[in-house]
Amino acid sequence: MENYPVPAQPIVRAMMDAASQDAVNTVAFQGAPGANSQIAVERMFAQAHPLPCFSFEDALEAVQDGRAARAMIPIENSLHGRVADIHFLLPESGLVIVGEHFLPIHYGLMATGSMAEVREVISHPQALGQCRHWLRSNGLKPVAYEDTAGAAALVAQRGDSGLAAIAPVRAAEIYGLNLLAENIADSADNVTRFVVLALEGDTPAPGPGVMTTAIYQVKNQPAALYKALGGFATNRVNMTKLESYQSGSSFAATEFYSDFEGHPDEPHVARALAELAFHTEWVRILGVYPQARSRGE
Residues 6+ apart with CB under 8 A from 71: 27, 28, 29, 53, 59, 60, 62, 63, 95, 196, 197, 198
Give the domain ranges of the chain. 6-105+191-198, 107-182, 210-290
Pairing relation of β-strands 254-261 and 210-218? Answer: antiparallel
Q: What is the pLDDT of residues 240-286, one digit of tens each?
A: 999 988 776 666 668 899 999 999 999 999 999 999 999 999 999 99
- CATH 1.20.1080.10: does it fit domain 6-105+191-198? no
210-290 is classed in which CATH architecture? 2-Layer Sandwich (3.30)
Residue 153: phi and psi, rounded to 5, are -65, -35
Say whether 194 is catalytic: yes
Pairing relation of β-strands 70-77 and 26-30? Answer: parallel
pLDDT at residue 52 is higher than 70 = yes
Identify the CATH assignment for 107-182 out of 3.20.20.120, 3.40.190.10, 3.60.15.10, 3.60.20.10.
3.40.190.10
Percent of the chain with pLDDT over 70: 97
Say whether 251 is catalytic: no
pLDDT value at residue 31: 95
Partners of 241 in beta bridges: 259
The one catalytic residue in 26, 112, 148, 192 is: 192
Fold agreement (6-105+191-198, 210-290) = no
**Cα 237-97-49 angle, rounded to 5 deg:** 145
Q: What is the pLDDT of residues 174-198, one digit of tens each?
A: 999 999 999 999 988 899 999 999 9
Most confident among 58-62, 91-95, 187-191 (mean pLDDT): 58-62
The one catalytic residue in 54, 194, 232, 260 is: 194
pLDDT value at residue 224: 87
Pairing relation of β-strands 191-198 and 280-290? Answer: unpaired
